Structure 1
């Protein structure tokens, strides 16, 4: 599942990655962070979500407010299997879309063009 999560995040248009502190891979779109994955087991996954989703998610076992980012509605899955694969995929896609929607219009337009050609 870990490889699938990495592949999904990397496959989204205009995503760049950065490795931090040797054990965390960060995913950005338009220089804004939308997901972080620890590279060492257990692979925790942190991502941006809506305020509504945030409160729903942190009520589930194995999901906590993300350290240092919870005030921005970020959650952390203590292990990757805290959510079924398809649900995690939907939340990661949503995290990406939330961040894209905050970008300047010209960046959003460029990303939408990339999606159309994919």
Structure 2
């Protein structure tokens, strides 16, 4: 699951990756964070979600409010198998799109062009 999550996040248009504290990868689009992935087991995955999904997600075993980011509707999977791979992939894509929607129009347009050419 770790490799799949890493590959999926890196495959999204205009995503940049930053390594922080030697044990965490942070994924950005337009300089805004949408996902974090711990490099050491257990591989925790944190990501932004829609406010309407936040409480539903944290009611699942293995999913908690993300430390320091919960007030912004971030969740953390404390174990890789807390969600089926297809559902996690969909939620990560949604996190990416949530952040893209907050970017200035010129950045959204540039990302749109990257999506079309991909």
Range class of TM-score, shorter chain: over 0.9
Pairs within 5 Å for 1:45-60: 45-60=45-60
Which residue number corresponds to residue 104 of structure 1? 104
Quote the offset at 1:67 in angstroms: 0.1
Quote the offset at 1:80 in angstroms: 1.4
Consecutive unaligned residues in structure 1, runs of 5 or more: none
Which residue number corresponds to residue 94 of structure 2? 94
Q: Deviations over 1:30-76 (max 9, x none)?
A: 00000000000110000000111111000110000000000000000
Quote the offset at 1:79 in angstroms: 1.2
Q: Deviations over 1:66-101 (max 9, x none)?
A: 000000000000011110000000000000000000
Which residue number corresponds to residue 13 of structure 1? 13
Which residue number corresponds to residue 62 of structure 2? 62
Taking structure 1 as the reference length, what is the TM-score of the superposition?
0.99
Which residue number corresponds to residue 31 of structure 1? 31
The number of equivalent residue pairs is 118
Q: Distance in 2 between matches of 1:94 and 1:61?
A: 21
Which residue number corresponds to residue 116 of structure 2? 116
Which residue number corresponds to residue 2 of structure 2? 2
Root mean square deviation, CA, Å? 0.4
Give 4+ residue runs of structure 1 displaced > 4 Å after superposition: none
